[in-house]
Amino acid sequence: MAKVLVVTSGKGGVGKTTSTAALGAALAQSGQKVAVVDFDVGLRNLDLVMGAERRVVFDLVNVIKGDARLDQALIRDKRIETLHLLPASQTRDKDNLTEEGVARVIAGLREKFDWIICDSPAGIERGATMAMRHADVAVVVTNPEVSSIRDSDRIIGLLDSKTEKAEKGEQVEKHLLLTRYDAARAQRGEILKVEDVLDILSIPLLAIVPESTEVLRSSNLGAPVTLGSPNSAPARAYCDAVRKLKGETLVEVQKQRGLFGKLFARRAA
């Protein structure tokens, strides 16, 4: 059965779009049929990070308004056959995201794909609430920094109250993705540690994505980091995240990981 996953954070600039692209590509690489959907109407960027910016013809709003069919708007990735992108509109505004229209698009995607990954815009306005509306699973992207953590806490509150699942008395499965993490600085007490963030937000950890130049390098090149730099630490973190999302038990391979392995060791605690 198809799963709808929302990548959300409240705060902007923490790595939602990067993470959507990386998780989508990693899931597709593992053989799953994946659609990544950009909900940032007016400020689309997922197309750019995925290197599909020159291939956008129709978008999410076109499909909602009936100007285009879903299969016309979906862009197939050139590198991975099972990965598709539904871009956001750049010219319309978020009021075009009607409740009924979004429900129809998600239902259509559920028929064709194993995973539908919704890239939420920053904030708690319509775009963000529509992106999380139909979610079964949520990945809350957080930086180890006070404003990001506060906003994540707010988003967790919304996931527990404003989603379809919450309204039915069920729970959206929530996971924390800690991004831009610098273990050395955390060790020196300059930034919050993994344990601190987990303690404060109290949702389970999906993965720690370390601060790395490879993330920017890949987005410069228009490739999800799992494709553009598959052996980098961030790519490995996203691949671990995907295995967890698919319900696989991670086989611990920490010994070869050196410093990075130490980082992961803490996760077990």
Partner 1 sequence: MSLFGFFKRQTSAPVARERLQVLLAHERTVVGPHSDLVAILREEIMAVIAKHMAVPQDKVQIKMDRGASVSTLEVDIEIPASVVGLRPAA
> Which residues form the interface with partner 1 (CB under 8 A)?
146, 149-150, 153-154, 157, 186, 188-193, 196, 199-200
User: Sheet containing 137-142: which strands, arranged edge to edge?
Assistant: 75-76, 83-86, 34-38, 115-119, 3-8, 137-142, 173-181, 205-210
Least gap, CB of 174 to partner 1 (angstroms) = 15
Tokens standing for residue 249: 């038990």
Which of 54/188 has CB closer to partner 1? 188
Query: In sequence order, which residues have a C-beta less than 8 Å from that of residue 209 and are 6 or more positions away?
Result: 15, 19, 177, 178, 179, 180, 181, 215, 234, 237, 238
Q: For the CB of residue 187, give the shortest distance to partner 1 in the complex, in Å.
A: 10
The CB-of-93 to partner 1 minimum distance in angstroms stands at 26
Alpha-carbon distance 221 to 231, whole Å? 16
Cβ atoms < 10 Å from Cβ of 233: 20
- 129: tokens are 């609430």
In the complex, least distance from residue 104 CB atom to partner 1, rounded to whole angstroms: 31
Residue 144 CA to residue 38 CA, distance in Å, equals 25
With respect to partner 1, which residue has the nearer C-beta, 25 or 191? 191
Nearer to partner 1, 67 or 195 (CB): 195
Task: Name which of 112 and 193 has its Cβ closer to partner 1.
Answer: 193
CB of 15 to partner 1, least distance (A): 19
Q: 8 or 226: whose CB is closer to partner 1?
A: 8
Let me know if 125 is exposed, middle or buried by CB neighbors in 10 A (0-12, 13-18, 19+): exposed
